[in-house]
Amino acid sequence: MEIFIMLSTILIGILLLFIYHQMTYWSNKGVPHIKIIPIIGNRFVTLIFGGPSMPEFSKQIYNQFPDAKYIGLMMFNSPVILLKDLELIKDVCVKNFDFCPDHQSFIDERMDPILGKNVFSLRGERWREIRSALSPSFTTSKMKFLFQLILKVSDDFINYFDNHSDITNMIDVKDAFTRYTNDVIATSAFGISVDSMQNRENEFYLRGKDATNLTGTRRILKFMAGIIFPRLMRLAGQTYLSKDTNKFFVDLIHKTVKMRDEKGIVRPDMIHLLMQARDSAGFEMTIDDIVAQAFIFFLAGFDTSSTLMSFVCHQLAYHPDVQSRLRQEIDSLTSDNENNESFSYDIITKMKYMDMVINETLRLYPPVVILDRVCVKSFDLPSPTPNTNGITVSPGSKIWIAAYAMHRDPKYFSNPDEFIPDRFNDENKDNILPYSFVPFGIGPRKCIGERFGMMETKLLLARILQKFIIKPTEKSTKDIIIDRSSLNLVPKGGIWLQFAKRN
Would you list which residues are annotated within the binding site?
447
Dihedral, CA atoms, 459, 463, 466, 471, nearest 10 degrees?
-100
Enter the DSSP assignment of 268: S
DSSP string, 16-28: HHHHHHHHHHHHH
**Within a 13 Å sphere around the CA of 449, how many CA atoms are in the beta-carbon half?**
23
Pairing of strands 398-401, 78-83: parallel
The helix or strand, by DSSP H or E, that contains position 380, with its residue range, turns out to be: strand 379-381
CA-based nearest residue to 212, from 236, 177, 188: 177
| 483: β partners | none
- Find all residues with CB under 8 Å of 298, minimum gap 6, and list them: 185, 189, 190, 208, 211, 249
Enter the DSSP assignment of 215: B
The helix or strand, by DSSP H or E, that contains position 57, with its residue range, turns out to be: helix 54-62
> Is 274:294 a contact under the CB 8 Å cutoff?
yes
Q: 3-class SS at 131? A: helix
User: Which strands, in side-by-side order, build the sheet including 171-172?
Assistant: 171-172, 496-501, 468-472
CA dist 277 → 133, 138, 143, 273, 321 (Å): 6, 12, 16, 6, 46
Strands (E), 402-472: 468-472
- Cα 176 to the center of its chain, rounded Å: 19
How far apart (Å, rounded) are the C-alpha atoms in residues 312 and 464?
12
- Find all residues with CB under 8 Å of 141, minimum gap 6, and list them: none
Amino acid sitting at position 484: R
- From the annotation, which residues make up the binding site for heme? 447
CA dist 161 → 369, 428, 464 (Å): 32, 37, 10
- φ/ψ of residue 172, rounded to 5: -80, 95
> Is 425:356 a contact under the CB 8 Å cutoff?
yes
> Is 115:292 a contact under the CB 8 Å cutoff?
yes
Burial of 344 (0-12, 13-18, 19+ CB in 10 A): middle
Q: 3-class SS at 286? A: coil
